[in-house]
Amino acid sequence: MVGNTESPTLKTTVRSLELVDRIHECGGAGLPQLAEDLSLAKSTVYKHVMTLHECGYLVKEDEQYHVGPKFLNLGEHARSRKSGYQFADDAVRELTEATDEEADFVIEDHGRIITISESYHKWVKYPGEDESDRYRARTGTYYPMHATASGKVILAELPQARVEAILDQWGLSAKTDSTITERQDLFEELERIEDQGYAIDDEEFTDGLRSIGMIVTQPNGAHIGAMSVSGPSYRMTDGVLTQEILPALEQIVESFEDRLADGRSDGS
């Protein structure tokens, strides 16, 4: 992460954060595993982990360390510190009620999108025995921009140089057989999205799932994030997406933008 000798970043801080990321990825890890995974001396790992533990960022259960609830406190602050993010809770709930589908609001963060707010419909939407195979937008979860409707609609708003930088950093990995994996194809898709004003994820992130997303614009003209509606492909046909879901999405996004303009958190 720190390859530039002129970088102002501190290697010790970067190392601690790498350990936190690895513990998070593993769902908990012990010192030997962390030392092996990151090719570090156990003594080095011990010092970092103990510092994080004593400061409340890690908790120890048996012989494993886990991300501590202090991150929940910080995460909730990050999620709610902007009034626009608070308005998103109302918007996604209204969108779910209007469409009977799952809805979410995401923002771009360092070249990926992260879910700020989500709303699930009460019905079980995706059949299947293995719960782990089902897609559900979860608050705080990162997703690749090129394989999601919200991600693509945000990419379409960014300057080409910024998009190129994101692709250089994260690549165009295939999540399904339908994922766009060539830059030229992606840029052509982004032009279409810019012209039509919305993006469709046609089973590009998860097999059997289609989504439609729109940008949410702040009063100053800059985007704050994007909203999307997701559902199973057998129900989210082209006609349903464009004739039923899209009008509801447009209406809720417009209402969201009105709230951003006048600072209200309710619909009055």
Q: What is the pLDDT of residues 238-261, one digit of tens each?
A: 999 999 999 999 999 999 999 988
Give tens-digit pLDDT for 104-125: 999 999 999 999 988 876 554 4
Report the alpha-carbon distance of residue 183 to residue 168 in Å, rounded.
10
Q: Examine the pLDDT at 90 and tell me if it is beyond 50.
A: yes
49, 35 in Cβ contact below 8 A? no
Q: Examine the pLDDT at 266 and tell me if it is beyond 60.
A: no
The alpha carbon torsion through 232, 238, 240, 243 (nearest 10 deg) reads 150
Give tens-digit pLDDT for 191-237: 999 999 999 999 999 999 999 999 999 998 899 999 999 999 999 99
pTM as predicted: 0.79
Q: Examine the pLDDT at 148 and tell me if it is beyond 60.
A: yes
Between 15-19, 151-155, 163-167, 196-200, the lowest mean confidence (pLDDT) is in 15-19
213, 227 in Cβ contact below 8 A? yes
Q: In the chain, which segments carry CATH 1.10.10.10? A: 11-68
Q: State the architecture of 11-68 in CATH terms.
A: Orthogonal Bundle (1.10)
Q: In the chain, which segments carry CATH 3.30.450.40? A: 79-262
Report the alpha-carbon distance of residue 87 to residue 127 in Å, rounded.
31
Arithmetic mean of pLDDT, 71-81: 77
In this prediction, residue 83 carries a pLDDT of 65
Arithmetic mean of pLDDT, 159-167: 96
| 3-class state of residue 212 by DSSP | strand
In this prediction, residue 79 carries a pLDDT of 73
In this prediction, residue 264 carries a pLDDT of 56
Query: Is 79-262 assigned to CATH 3.30.450.40?
Result: yes
